[in-house]
Structure 1
Amino acid sequence: MKSTAFSHAERSRGIRAARIMGIMLLLVVVLFMISMNTGVIRLAPLDVLRTLSGSGSDNQELILFQFRLPRIVMSLLIGAGFGLSGCMLQGITRNALAEPGILGINAGAGLVVLLYVSSHAVNGSVFLLPVLSLLGAGAAAALIYGLSYRRHQGVSTIRMLLVGIAIAAGINALTLVLTLKLNPEQFTYVQTWLAGSIMGTDWRFVTALLPWLVVLLPVAFAKARILDVMNLGDFTATGLGSAVQRERLYLFAAAVGLAASCTALGGSIGFVGLIGPHLARRLVGPQHRQLLPASALAGALLVMAADTIARPFDVPTGIVVAVIGAPYFLYLLAKSRN
């Protein structure tokens, strides 16, 4: 009888989560449509529809297909990637404050991109950036993981978070010193990139980012059950037959890959991996089978909304996200302290 009641409750939660994710997906579509009409040069809804059907002017086709649509698609992909990465990191560390920017993963990726820009032209290969970013993020992640590891104890999640914050501070300081030595053109490019800008995006950026997400998103979704087991604690998870340290390493690598590829092509946009999973957890609950896709949708909504707001004012998207994210982070800190 109890088992039947539990199954019914579980089914009800699943249906509710599916409905909420359906609403979130609908909001993504609506925001996508609104974003196509928004910019320094406004396009009326009828103009957008005519242009999509092939009846727009050359000017309208240039604005929509070459400038606006690539940027909107990039903001969607970057938001989903950061949201999913943050959700995985929070599951690994069992800490709601964990996210790629706070752990120093974005900083490591950014440092290597900065070194590349300082030694090459700013218009270097777009397709090389995710690889270089992954190397930087991977090095930072390896350092964090290595310093968090203790023999016979494995990786302490609290230690991982604290080490990540310290590594991020050190890398950001080094980045600042190197930035001051750039020439004016490189300095402008790096500063815009560090602010989290999706400006100047074209379809090459979408093509460079999409394969990374296509590979890593299914890996993340396939590990939903492992993340649920990890939430029970290392001792319980080991007792249930899970190889905790090995699985944590796999998940950490996948989260780093997602964050690094998004950082390389979208800039250092912080707080998305923090806010997206937290909002998703409130809406669909803690089970990762629903939480992972909901976090991706929440991250996509956040970055798309920030980019839509930023575009008419020609400011970096990351600044708008920071305006939203910084107070929310302080709220979470106060809540966790209480």
Structure 2
Amino acid sequence: MDLDYISPAEKKRKKINFIVVTIFILLTVFTFVISMNTGYIRLTPVEVFQTLFGNGTAKQELILFNIRLPRIIIGMLVGAALAVSGCILQGVTRNALADPGILGINAGAGLVVMLFVAYMPTQNFNMIMLLPVFSCLGAILTAAIIFVLSYKKETGFSPKKLLLTGIAIASGISAVTIILTLKLTPEQYQFVAVWMAGGIWGSSWKFVLALLPFLLILIPLAWRKSHALNILNLGDPLAIGLGATIKKDRFVLLAVAVLLAGSAVSVSGGIGFVGLIAPHLVRRLVGPKHQTLLPVTALVGAFLVLVADTIGRWIIQPSEIPAGIVVAVIGAPYFLYLLSRTKVSS
């Protein structure tokens, strides 16, 4: 038997995956270029390319390199992080509706971010580098509460209880956040309002440097555990039969998902539904194997947030709509559609 034999079905699947990845890369590059042109002060494509190669004016360089490019890159990093986080949560909990925003993880991280920004000097570089760390601590504490309350020793995670517990915790944290805003200055309140609407607020290279190390470590780690994620999807009894260390694998994967969501929230607002939409879309296109699903989900998540932020900056100029609201316009109906088609057990 030829061990290198590849079945026609596998060849077809690889071809489809290649086409899907190529299409989304091209769409992302196209949107990236459009996004560099989009804003209150418009730069034509020619001016953008001239500026990229050092032939632009001082004003054009300031707009492109100091304002738009860092914001675009942060949006893509946030989208990738939230999408992979949602993909992991759906796999580990076997809950098709799992998403860091819906489960309340984003809200917990956001509460800590709000307190950090309100009482710490965020213009200080060292403080900015610590911001994702504090955000992740908030995400970890919130996730721990949610998973403890929804876990049963006999049956594991209850999909219905996990979803309802997350929604309840998120509502409680949002109420606490609103109460705390009463003590904020007008400038701090404006920041919180933008954050809650899902605005990408950390739009400078300092925030890119603060977020990037988390993604460079966590996303490859998630991909390395993709085989374990495939096995966990089969259910605990079968996973144990296949020799998987389910408790260790589940803990590592949940930690990765929570840290990805927490770090993303530290530089963006409460952007929901990305972790819900991207994995479902990609799963339909490339199949359920996480070796392929995770990296393509990261690409699609980056594309979704990039599109949402670009539309938000373009549609009502000179004002702008936070990316989280644009995503919610798409995500909320899709969530209701999934909810109507998903059977969740108690």
Query: Fold conserved (TM > 0.5)?
Result: yes
Corresponding residue for residue 197 of structure 1? 199
The one-letter amino acid paired with 1:35 is S
Structure 2 residue aligned with 1:218, among 204, 220, 228?
Answer: 220
Give the corresponding residue for 1:85.
85
1:162-219 CA distances to partner (integer Å, 9 max, x unpaired)? 3222222221221121122322121111111221112461111111110000010101
CA RMSD of superposed structures (Å): 2.1
Cα-to-partner distance string for 1:101-152 (whole Å, 9 max, x where unaligned): 1111101101111222333356462212101101100101111222233345
Determine the structure 2 residue equivalent to 1:68: 68
Q: What is the distance in 1 between the residues matched to 2:52 and 2:79?
A: 24
Larger mean CA deviation between 60-69 and 139-148 belongs to: 139-148
The residue type equivalent to 2:323 in the other structure is T
- Asked if 2 retains the 8 angstrom alpha-carbon contact of 1:93 and 1:161, the reply is no
**Measured at CA, do residues 327 and 222 of structure 1 come closer, stay the same or move farther in structure 2, by a change above 3 Å?**
same
**Aligned partners of 2:231 and 2:239 also within 8 Å:** yes
Q: Are residues 1:320 and 2:322 paired?
A: no
Tell me the residue number matched to 2:230.
228
| In 2, Cα distance between equivalents of 1:165 and 1:14 | 38
The amino acid across from 1:120 in the alignment is: M
Match of 1:15 in 2: 15
Unmatched segments (≥5 aa) in structure 1 = none
Q: Distance in 2 between matches of 1:245 and 1:159?
A: 20
For residues 139-154 of structure 1, the aligned pairs below 5 Å read 139-151=141-153, 153-154=155-156
Q: Secondary structure at the match of 2:183?
A: coil
Deviation at 1:283, TM superposition (A): 1.1
1:39 pairs with 2:39: yes
* Partner Cα separation in structure 2 for residue 220 and residue 321 of structure 1: 25
Return the alpha-carbon distance in structure 2 between the equivalents of residues 121 and 214 of structure 1: 26
Aligned to 2:55: 55
Alpha-carbon distance in 1 for matches of 2:122, 2:212: 22
Work out whether 1:335 is the aligned partner of 2:341: yes
**Structure 2 runs not aligned, ≥5 long:** none
Output the CA distance in 1 between the equivalents of 2:256 and 2:250.
Answer: 10
Q: How does 1:167-182 map to 2 (within 5 A)?
A: 167-182=169-184
Distance 1:200 1:160, change over 3 A: closer
Partner of 1:115: 115
Instruction: State which of 300, 303, 306 in structure 2 corresponds to 1:304.
Output: 306
2: CA distance, partners of 1:248 / 1:116: 30
Aligned length: 337
Give CA deviations for 1:223-244 in whole Å, capped at 9, x if unaligned.
1111111121111111111122
CA distance in 2, matches of 1:145, 1:224: 21
Partner letter of residue 101 of structure 2?
Answer: G
Asked if the contact 1:122–1:186 (Cα under 8 Å) also holds between the matched residues in 2, the reply is no
Structure 1 pair 152/326, CA: closer, same or farther in 2 (3 Å)? closer
Q: Is the 8 A contact 1:38 1:311 kept in 2?
A: yes
How far is the alpha carbon of 1:99 from its aligned partner?
Answer: 0.4
Query: How many angstroms does 1:156 deviate by?
Result: 4.0
1:4 positional shift: 9.7
Aligned partners of 2:6, 2:229: CA distance in 1, in Å? 21
Contact 1:89–1:99 (CA<8 Å) still a contact in 2?
A: yes
Assess if the C-alpha contact under 8 Å between 1:106 and 1:260 holds in 2. Answer: yes
Q: Secondary structure at the match of 1:250?
A: helix
Q: In the alignment, does 2:246 pair up with 1:240?
A: no
Percent of residue pairs identical = 55
Distance 1:227 1:143 in 2: 23
Change (3 A) 1:183 1:34: same
Kindly provide the amino acid, as one letter, of the partner of residue 329 in structure 1: F
Q: Which structure has the highest helix share of the two?
A: 1
Q: Are the aligned partners of 1:101 and 1:270 in contact in 2 as well (CA < 8 Å)? A: yes
Query: Deviations for 1:67-104, whole angstroms, at most 9, x for unmatched residues?
Result: 11111111111111111111111111112211001111
CA distance in 2, matches of 1:16, 1:129: 40
SS at match of 2:192: helix
Q: Does residue 260 in structure 1 map to residue 262 in structure 2?
A: yes
Q: Distance in 2 between matches of 1:123 and 1:244?
A: 43
Q: Which deviates more, 245-254 or 164-173?
A: 164-173
Per the alignment, do residues 141 and 222 of structure 1 end up closer, same or farther by CA in structure 2, a change over 3 Å counting?
A: same
CA 1:163–1:105: 2 relative to 1, 3 Å? same
**Counterpart of 1:27?**
27
- SS of corresponding position for 1:84: helix
1:136 pairs with 2:138: yes
Amino acid in structure 1 at the alignment position of 2:241: G
Find the aligned partners of 1:147 and 1:193 in 2 and give their Cα distance: 27
**Aligned partners of 1:83 and 1:120: how far apart in 2?**
29
